[in-house]
Structures are given as C-alpha cells and as structure tokens.
Amino acid sequence: MSDIEIRTTGRAGRITLTRPHALNALSYEMCMAIDTAMRNWREDDAVDLIILDAEGEKAFCAGGDIAELYDTGTKGDYSYGQIFWRDEYRLNAMIFEYPKPVISFLQGFTMGGGVGIGCHGSHRVVGESSKIAMPECSIGLVPDVGGSLMLALAPGRLGEFLGTTGFRMGPADAILAGFADHYILQSHWSDLIEMLEASGDAALISQHAETPPAGELAGLQADIDQHFSGETLGDIVTSLRNSEQAFSQKTLSTLGKNAPLSTACTVEMLHRLRGPALSIRRALELEYRFTHRSMEHGDFLEGIRAQIIDKDRSPNWQFPDMNVPLTAVSKMLQPLGADTLTFEED
C-alpha cells in the first residue's frame, strides 16, 4: 500500500505513514494494515518493540480520512462510518493494551485519528514542531479514538477545555496534559530510531529526552479550572459570559464556532468517565455511542460540509444558542444495545 510502509528492521516492527501530501490522513485501509501488523508482531519473539512514524514535516497524522465518511453518509449509508469507527477504536485499544513497547514520533500536526494511533503507546515522542489537538467538536463529533481517556485524566479541567475548544498543544503542553511523554529534538530522531532498531531497547528514549520550551497551558490552568468546573456546557458558558477576562472572551468565541451538541456531550462524557472505573475500553465504548449516531442524529455531516466540502465556515448547528437540553445529550450517549462496541478479535 502506497499510503503506509510496514516492515521489520532489526528488532523493531516499523510502521511509517506515507501520505504527506494529505497530512498522513488515516484511511480505513491504513487502520486495518496497522491492525494486522500489530497482531502479528505481538506474537513474534523477533520483534521487541514497535516504532510508529510518518513522512513529511507538516504532520504525523492530521486525522481520519473523512471524504468517504461524508460521501456515504450523505447518501443515507451510515454503516460505513459505523464500521470504520468500530474497527478504528478496536485498534486504539490494542495499541493502548499492547504487551510490547510502542514508540511514536509525533512531528507537526497530530490530531483526531492521529492521536488514536500515536498517543496510546508507551513512549510518545514530541519535537519542536509538534502540535497535538482534539478538534472534533468543530466538525460535529466528540473527542474520540480514546482521546476522552486522556482528557479525563488531564490535570484539573484541562480535559474540558482541550476537548471543547480543540486547543493546539505544543510539546510542553502535550506532556503536561498527558498526550506525550518525551521531548527530543527532531534532528536526533533518525539516529535514535536506528539505535532502537538495532537494540530493541526502549529505555534509549528517556536517555535522550530533553526539557521542552515552555508551553501555554500551565499559565492558563487557573483560568481553565475556574471557568470549566461546571457540570454542564451551560455552566461553562455562563461562567465565561460573566467574565471580562481576555481568556474568557477568546474561549467563548472559540466555543461559539463549534457544534453545541458535541461540546455539551464532550463535557458530559468526561464527567462520566472520571473515577476509578476509567479504562480505555470504557472510554471508547462511550465515544462510540456518539459517533455511531453522529451522522443521523448529530451534526457531523453538516460540520464536514461547512469545514471541508463547501468551506463556507457557516455550519447550521443544532442548538446554536449553546443551550443544549440534557435530553439531547442523553439521547446521543445512551447505550447502543445490540450495536454496543465490543473488543473481541475476529
């Protein structure tokens, strides 16, 4: 497959995304190729660790390839998207639970589906160009591919802020929020990968890590915790509206551009997930409740139309005043019954 290169080099299983012209957007076929390779390497004693990287300077992976999702969804075929998300989420869980080290090198944009394959491994490396984000609410989805797990675990109320605004995290921000582990200058990556291939020793990563340049989130933490501590999106919006801080007004403007149903569901999801029962499978199962319904009952198709197809940036969202009824949130997040996401391997 020209979009991805899978091979074994030395002691390492190697997966390289090779669609730099498309910011290495993840297609269904690419997901399934990764899934097959990682299942095979899991049982292969000649493979000590997995290395995920990508060609091009702009992006590790800027998200899922949504053209086919939109094309099928607008024709009333919701099954393609449901199968895509189901199998992608199963891959996300496999990476998270993998018994061998999984090392990812995340240059440039790592967003959406890129987070799902790049940010669940054991050693997540960022460099000076890294920008990590969960911008799904801007297209009528919720932070998915297991991203809700990391958002629920992020310090304070960073999860609500990052998940609803799609804020782009630099390297220090990504480490603070739990989306990355180590900062290494990108000029060192090639030599480090060669050493990993030869040795099969993931401990080399921490030995080469450096302190990243200061980020933005640490300085915003107090404001974020103050305004995003409410139980619902309505509480958050009210708090921001009653503040004259520059942070509040800028954040309110950002929220106003995103799908209110999505942002409201994101807040509810994180509140449900927090606590001792949090797990990758629980997070993915809850995300799937939303994405399974997102074409028929949510704003996904309208979000793609406005942002990607027509590019008018004027989506006709449900609940444009950001006053989202609790019943609408409950409807999107209620159990799916026979369609519940499961993790049995075929």
Percent of the chain at pLDDT > 90 equals 97
Domain boundaries, the chain: 4-339
Predicted confidence at residue 65, as pLDDT, reads: 84
Predicted confidence at residue 344, as pLDDT, reads: 83
Nearest to 111 by CA among 70, 145, 81: 145
Average pLDDT value for the chain: 96
Express each pLDDT in 188-224 by its tens digit: 999 999 999 999 999 999 999 999 999 999 999 999 9
pTM of the model: 0.97
- How much is the average pLDDT of 57-63? 96
Express each pLDDT in 84-117 by its tens digit: 999 999 999 999 999 999 999 999 999 999 999 9
Contact 215, 173 (CB under 8 A): yes
* HEC per residue, the chain: CCCEEEEEECCEEEEEECCHHHCCCECHHHHHHHHHHHHHHHCCCCCCEEEEEECCCCEEECCECCHHHHHHHCCCCCHHHHHHHHHHHHHHHHHHCCCCCEEEEECEEEECHHHHHHCCCCEEEECCCCEEECCHHHHCCCCCCCHHHHHHHCCCCHHHHHHHHCCCECHHHHHHHCCCCEECCHHHHHHHHHHHHHHCCCCHHHHHCECCCCCCHHHHHHHHHHHCCCCCHHHHHHHHHCCCCHHHHHHHHHHHHCCHHHHHHHHHHHHHHCCCCCCHHHHHHHHHHHHHHCCCCCCHHHHHHHHHHCCCCCCCCCCCCCCCCHHHHHHHHCCCHHHCCCCCCC
Q: Is the pLDDT of residue 345 over 80?
A: no
| CATH number for the segment(s) 4-339 | 3.90.226.10
Predicted confidence at residue 2, as pLDDT, reads: 82
Q: Is the pLDDT of residue 332 over 60?
A: yes
Q: What is the largest CA-CA distance in the chain?
A: 60
Express each pLDDT in 168-181 by its tens digit: 999 999 999 999 99
Predicted confidence at residue 172, as pLDDT, reads: 98
Predicted confidence at residue 68, as pLDDT, reads: 85
Q: Is the pLDDT of residue 346 over 90?
A: no
Percent of the chain at pLDDT > 70 equals 99
